[in-house]
Amino acid sequence: MTKETKLGGTFTLSDPTMNVYRMGYGAMQLAGPQVWGPPRDVDAAIEVLREAVAVGVNHIDTSDYYGPHVTNQIIKRALHPYPDGLVIITKVGARRDEDKSWPHALSRQELIDAVHDNLRNLGLDALDVVNLRVGGISEPSEGSIEEPLTVLVELKQRGLIRHLGLSNVTPKQLADAQTVTEIVCVQNFYNVAHRSDDEFIDELAKQGIAYVPFFPLGGFTPLQYSALDAAASSLEATSMQVALAWLLQRSPNILLIPGTSSLDHLGENLKAPTLQIPFDVLADLNAIGGGLHFEVPSPN
């Protein structure tokens, strides 16, 4: 079944000028292997970005520690001066070491430097949205985030940042952050197999806050992959398309940022919003995560 809703419909990130299509693009894969160094074919990376924007994508997720610096420089080369309505969301709070690890970079000076690196490499005077990345690579960890968040709030007050988001956080950390500043989006690890944020997503939807899941195919067991592949086969779609379509149907506040350096894969990903998963297949997919976590529609 298909539906004709362009790129999954739209969602407004608090500011009416930031009304974005729910299907965005994640720039991490534009860097070289292990998100390190330049890609093998810079011109191909530029072509992917330009094609994404040409077909309507108006929401790009990036970070200056991808590469490092590489993806933002490619985005600038491909798209600057940026078209009206394009929202670029970046992240700070980590850095890359020579061993290609991802240590935290949450000191005051590291955060200030990261914001200025993003501004310079993207060619912007102000960043649309900056996500503060805390926690681990894929999971949050409890603890106060007030100190690093306060640094970003100061930069927001100086006009270098328009809006703030959070990445790898718990509901309590969000609530604490909201006593300091408005939060327009949360970016956490979530997919059809990993549902620890189910209640969190529903609460964010009530507040009008976007939820941006990463790793749409991350952490699956062989049995879970098998179930996803079976669903994809029944729908004559790819497993990635089904995983993305499931997320779009999960909640209207979910925004997607699948990344690729391939034009073919980009085209496949952008077809996901046209895939309407029928109730029986949706029930099978819900079972992958251990049960039903949102309402399965009745058959027509």
Q: How confident is the model at residue 138 (pLDDT cuts 50, 70, 90)?
A: confident
Q: Give me the pLDDT at residue 1, please.
A: 35
Task: Report angle CA 117, 120, 125 to the nearest 5 degrees.
Answer: 115
Residue in 152, 170, 169 with CA at minimum distance from that of residue 161: 152
CATH of the domain spanning 7-219+251-260: 3.20.20.100
Catalytic residues: 66
| Cβ neighbours of residue 223 closer than 8 Å, sequence gap 6 or more | none
Residue for token pair 């149907």? 249
Dihedral sign, CA of 113, 16, 62, 39?
Answer: negative
Cα–Cα distance for residue pair 157/160, rounded to 1 Å: 8
Average pLDDT of the residues of the chain? 93
Average pLDDT, stretch 3-20? 88
Cα dist from 3 to 192, 241, 245, 272, 278, whole Å: 21, 14, 11, 10, 12
Report whether pLDDT(297) > 60: no
Q: Which two tokens stand for residue 80?
A: 């600057």
Residue for token pair 């067991």? 221
Per-residue pLDDT tens for 260-270?
A: 999 999 999 99
Report whether pLDDT(296) > 70: no
Report whether pLDDT(207) > 70: yes
Residue in 123, 114, 98 with CA at minimum distance from that of residue 148: 114
Q: Give me the pLDDT at residue 248, please.
A: 97
Report whether pLDDT(42) > 60: yes
Q: How confident is the model at residue 289 (pLDDT cuts 50, 70, 90)?
A: confident
Q: Give me the pLDDT at residue 139, please.
A: 86
First-to-last alpha carbon distance for the chain, in angstroms, is 12
Cα–Cα distance for residue pair 64/54, rounded to 1 Å: 24
Average pLDDT, stretch 149-154? 98
Q: Is the peptide bond before 273 cis (omega within 30 degrees of 0)?
A: no
Per-residue pLDDT tens for 65-99?
A: 999 999 999 999 999 999 999 999 999 999 999 99
Q: Give me the pLDDT at residue 125, please.
A: 98
Percent of the chain with pLDDT over 90: 89
Cα–Cα distance for residue pair 272/109, rounded to 1 Å: 41
Q: Give me the pLDDT at residue 300, please.
A: 31
> What's the predicted TM-score (pTM) here?
0.94
